[in-house]
């Protein structure tokens, strides 16, 4: 049974609720660090990258960029000698997302092993886990795992006699959602304000301290050792034919559902199965009104979309994004103007302030929604919000923060326009001067 | 000579005008704090952090956190001292300190409550929980109780959305909050 779980649910096979995480000895006994030995002794770095490419592992941080392709962008040692870095983006802060916390708190050796394999693939000289400061338990468990891995010779100089050396260090952040944007994360890691950088150059060419750098999400990385152990074909097959993407995915539900939580399922599982089977549906007396597929920065979908497969391409075709894959369900007691006001409050506060459209546009959006929520919306407010979704569309602001903020807004206006219209004061011609004031 | 010497926290008995301005900003009076002197322990910890990076500047956030861990917040004099120690301008350290929400540039209470106001907690009862905390402690977001026991701050998603509403009190993540459980919960923090 245990072996079976490891083969069908590689990410969570070692995780038992209420049990302390496996230490190095226990983790190794469960098959851990086999991939490090296999990669370093039997495979060239390029072979590891190829295996991950062939497995079609797509970035689990939300963007879905193929992990192996990202590694492949790093220039060769001949072209770019010297330092190069692997950075794990463990700055989990997308509202509604609680998956990386589980992996790091409950199976820290899994991420450590993954980073050794990934670091070998890109021949990193140093690796960092950029961990959000609030994840105190994760920091403790990861540091303990790293200390054990160092002592066992899996990290440090000349790892397993391969001639390749890499340090791994946990860097804990000091807040701010924008640190999850990979170039802002790099600035933060350099000890600067977390303003995003212009792209190109992409981090793979010039990242941390101007050197080639790969930034990968926790969940993406934790698949890597299993691909090395079991092969790309096995990984692709984990989807049970539900998707073109490979692997399993950590899906979750938050909001007012019966059994909120997190489940490892084949990628491409339908939203309906996640909500109705795994979470047991909405709480008694409540109906599903809308859902965010994967975080605050994804477009709302409706109950009509529940039969869609939760993978990157399918959700994109429906006009949203899978994002982090953790659903937030909105029940029928909620007013969408208030729900979107809460979301825009978050985005306005978390704007780094670097570019004007985002710094000024988001508070404007938020304040308009506050007025509407009070029933003080004015004629033209909805059109202004729509204009905002165009002014803050991808490519207009400096990074993806403000475009992300516009996704729930534009979809709420599309599906629930009546609720926004109901907030606009009915102003006749005799009081029109008030509207102009 | 550094820029740090102009605000009240670093100068004992500083001018009443400056003090008044600080009161205005904080909306409440600042507790008196002794002038900041970096301890050897802090210095060693910061110097140790330098080894983790290929450039000293990267240690600025760690350094701020080390000072804060010891003092509860980051006084002006510490900004200058950190700059000196890692070899970057004090203005850069201040730029970093004021960017990140987990670095406090004003004194906070003995216990800091960070309540998640993001979407999943909002949907599961954030408003009611925040109101219960505010009513129990008689403070709003951003304020500290008169006895200096609690500071209440908002924070974005704490990554425990399936157990909302969620907050952190100091390093503890507290979940499944409800207005009824607030008084007993807060009683545990002296």
Three-state SS annotation for B12-59: CCCCHHHHHHHHHHHCCCCCCCCCCCCCHHHHHHHHHHHCCCCCHHHH
pLDDT of B147 > 60? The answer is yes
CB B104 within 8 A of CB B76: no
- Type and span of the H or E element at B130: helix B126-137
Give a yes or no: residue B56 inside a domain.
Answer: yes
Range of the domain at B166: 111-187
| Number of separate domains in chain A | 3
Same domain, B115 and B94: no
- Type and span of the H or E element at A358: helix A356-373
pLDDT, residue A426, reads 63
Please, which residues 142-171 of chain B have a Cβ atom closer than 8 Å to chain A?
154-164, 168, 171
CB contact under 8 A, A134 and B52: no
Q: How confident is the model at residue B30 (pLDDT cuts 50, 70, 90)?
A: low
> How many angstroms separate the CA atoms of B155 and B173, rounded?
12
pLDDT of B20 > 70? The answer is no
Give a yes or no: residue B16 inside a domain.
Answer: yes
Query: Which parts of chain A have pLDDT scores under 50?
Result: 1-3, 428-437
CB contact under 8 A, A173 and B99: no
A108's tokens: 């820290």
Range of the domain at A60: 2-236
Closest CA to B69 of A180, A169, A172: A172
CB A128 within 8 A of CB A87: yes
Give a yes or no: residue B75 inside a domain.
Answer: yes
| Number of separate domains in chain B | 2
> How many angstroms separate the CA atoms of A190 and B94, rounded?
15
Q: Which of these three, A329, A362, A378, is where a domain ends? A: A329
pLDDT, residue B29, reads 52
Same domain, A285 and A155: no
Same domain, A297 and A163: no
Q: Give me the sign of the Cα torsion angle A313, A317, A323, A324.
A: negative
> How many angstroms separate the CA atoms of A378 and A384, rounded?
10
Tell whether A127 lies on the interface with B, counting CB pairs under 8 A: no
pLDDT, residue A425, reads 74
A264's tokens: 């490892």
CB contact under 8 A, B102 and A95: no
Same domain, B116 and B54: no
Same domain, B9 and B95: yes
CB A126 within 8 A of CB A83: yes
Helix (H, G, I), strand (E, B) or coil at B155: strand
- Type and span of the H or E element at A419: helix A417-421
Cα of A100 to nearest chain B Cα, Å: 8
> How many angstroms separate the CA atoms of A170 and B62, rounded?
11
Residues of B in contact with A330 (CB under 8 A): 123
Residues of B in contact with A140 (CB under 8 A): none
Give a yes or no: residue B106 inside a domain.
Answer: no
Q: Which of these three, B43, B74, B99, is where a domain ends? A: B99
Cα of B74 to nearest chain A Cα, Å: 13
> How many angstroms separate the CA atoms of B4 and A320, rounded?
49
Q: Which of these three, A218, A236, A254, is where a domain ends? A: A236
List, as one string, the DSSP characters of A263-303.
EEEETT-BHHIIIIIIS-SBPTT--EEEEESSSTTS--B-G
List, as one string, the DSSP characters of A213-243.
EEEEEHHHHTTHHHHHHH-HHHHHHTTTTS-
Judge residue A81's burial from the number of C-beta atoms within 10 Å of its C-beta, 0-12 exposed, 13-18 middle, 19 or more buried.
Answer: exposed
pLDDT, residue A74, reads 97
The residue written with tokens 């599982």 in the block is A269
Residue of B nearest to A84 (CA): B54
Mutating which of A95, A129, A331 best tests the B interface, going by the most B Cβ atoms within 10 A? A95
Same domain, A305 and A266: yes
CB A24 within 8 A of CB A37: no
Give a yes or no: residue B105 inside a domain.
Answer: no
Cα of A316 to nearest chain B Cα, Å: 22
Cα of A248 to nearest chain B Cα, Å: 20
Alpha helices in A79-223 (DSSP H): 100-106, 108-122, 136-151, 182-189, 218-221
A71's tokens: 């590694």
Same domain, A367 and A413: yes
Tell whether A339 lies on the interface with B, counting CB pairs under 8 A: yes
Q: What is the mean pLDDT of residues B36-50?
A: 95
Same domain, A256 and A219: no
B5's tokens: 């010497």
- Type and span of the H or E element at A169: strand A167-172
pLDDT, residue B182, reads 98
When the pLDDT of each residue in chain B is averaged and rounded to a whole number, the result is 87
Q: How confident is the model at residue B13 (pLDDT cuts 50, 70, 90)?
A: very low
A269's tokens: 């599982």
- The string of pLDDT tens digits covering residues A253-297 is 999 999 999 999 999 999 999 999 999 999 999 999 999 999 999
pLDDT, residue B28, reads 53
- The string of pLDDT tens digits covering residues A216-239 is 999 999 999 999 999 999 999 999
CB contact under 8 A, B123 and A334: yes
pLDDT, residue B4, reads 38
- The string of pLDDT tens digits covering residues B67-105 is 999 999 999 999 999 999 999 999 999 999 999 999 999
Same domain, B127 and B181: yes
Sequence-distant (6+) residues with CB within 8 A of B136 are B182, B183, B186
CB A22 within 8 A of CB A12: no
Same domain, B160 and B126: yes
Over pLDDT 70: what percentage of chain B? 83
pLDDT, residue B15, reads 39
Put the strands of the sheet holding A85-90 in their side by side order: A167-172, A126-131, A85-90, A213-217
Same domain, B61 and B37: yes
Q: What is the mean pLDDT of residues B130-155?
A: 98
Distances (CA, A) of B100 to A132, A215, B157: 11, 21, 15
């Amino acid at each position: 049974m245990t072996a079976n779980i490891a083969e069908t649910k590689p990410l969570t096979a070692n995780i038992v609720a209420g049990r302390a995480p496996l230490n190095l000895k226990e983790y190794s006994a469960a098959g851990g660090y086999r991939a490090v030995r296999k990669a370093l002794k039997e495979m060239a770095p390029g072979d590891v990258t190829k295996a991950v490419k062939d497995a079609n592992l797509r970035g689990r941080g939300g963007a879905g960029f193929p992990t192996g392709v990202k590694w492949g962008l790093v220039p060769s040692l001949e072209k770019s000698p010297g330092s190069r870095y692997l950075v794990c983006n463990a700055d989990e802060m997308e509202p509604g997302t609680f998956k990386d916390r589980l992996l790091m708190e409950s199976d820290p050796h899994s991420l450590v092993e993954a980073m050794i394999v990934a670091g070998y693939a890109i021949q990193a000289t140093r690796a960092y886990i950029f961990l959000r400061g609030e994840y105190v338990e994760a920091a403790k468990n990861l540091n303990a795992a790293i200390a054990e891995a160092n002592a066992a010779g899996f990290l440090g100089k000349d790892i397993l006699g391969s001639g390749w050396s890499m340090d791994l260090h946990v860097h804990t952040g000091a807040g701010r959602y924008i640190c999850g944007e990979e170039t802002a994360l790099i600035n933060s890691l350099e000890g600067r304000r977390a303003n995003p950088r212009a792209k190109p150059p992409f981090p793979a060419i010039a990242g941390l301290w101007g050197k080639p750098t790969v930034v990968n999400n926790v969940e993406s990385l934790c698949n890597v050792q299993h691909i090395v152990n079991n092969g790309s074909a096995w990984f692709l097959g984990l989807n049970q034919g539900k998707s073109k993407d490979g692997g399993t995915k950590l899906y979750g539900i938050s909001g007012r559902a019966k059994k909120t939580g997190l489940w490892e399922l084949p990628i491409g599982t339908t939203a309906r199965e996640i909500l109705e089977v795994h979470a047991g549906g909405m709480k008694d007396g409540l109906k599903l009104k809308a859902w965010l597929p994967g975080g605050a920065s994804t477009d709302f979908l409706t109950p009509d979309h529940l039969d869609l497969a939760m993978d990157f391409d399918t959700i994109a075709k429906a006009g949203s994004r899978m994002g982090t894959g953790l659903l937030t369900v909105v029940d029928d007691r909620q007013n969408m103007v208030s729900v979107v006001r809460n979301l825009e409050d978050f985005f306005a506060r978390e704007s780094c302030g670097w570019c004007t459209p985002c710094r000024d546009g988001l508070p404007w959006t938020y304040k308009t929604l506050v007025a509407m929520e009070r029933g003080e919306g004015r004629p033209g407010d909805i059109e202004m919000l729509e204009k905002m979704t165009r002014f803050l569309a991808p490519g207009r602001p400096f990074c993806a923060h403000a475009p992300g903020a516009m996704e729930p807004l534009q979809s709420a206006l599309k599906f629930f326009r009546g609720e926004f219209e109901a907030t606009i004061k009915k102003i006749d011609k005799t009081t029109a001067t008030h509207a102009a004031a | 000579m550094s820029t740090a010497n102009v605000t009240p926290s670093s100068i004992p008995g500083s001018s009443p005008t400056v003090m008044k301005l600080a009161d205005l900003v904080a909306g409440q009076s600042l507790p008196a704090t002794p002038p900041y002197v970096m301890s050897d322990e802090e210095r060693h910890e910061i110097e140790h952090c330098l080894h983790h990076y290929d450039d000293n500047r990267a240690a600025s956030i760690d350094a701020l956190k080390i000072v804060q861990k010891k003092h509860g917040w980051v006084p002006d004099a510490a900004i200058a001292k950190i700059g000196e120690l890692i070899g970057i301008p004090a203005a850069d350290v201040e730029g970093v300190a004021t960017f990140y929400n987990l670095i406090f540039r004003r004194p906070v209470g003995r216990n800091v409550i960070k309540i998640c106001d993001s979407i999943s907690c909002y949907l599961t009862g954030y408003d009611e929980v925040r109101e219960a905390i505010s009513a129990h402690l008689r403070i709003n977001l951003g304020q500290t109780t008169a006895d200096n026991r609690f500071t209440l701050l908002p924070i974005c998603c704490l990554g425990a959305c399936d157990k909302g509403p969620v907050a952190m009190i100091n390093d503890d993540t507290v979940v499944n909050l409800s207005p009824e459980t607030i008084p007993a919960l807060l009683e545990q923090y002296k």
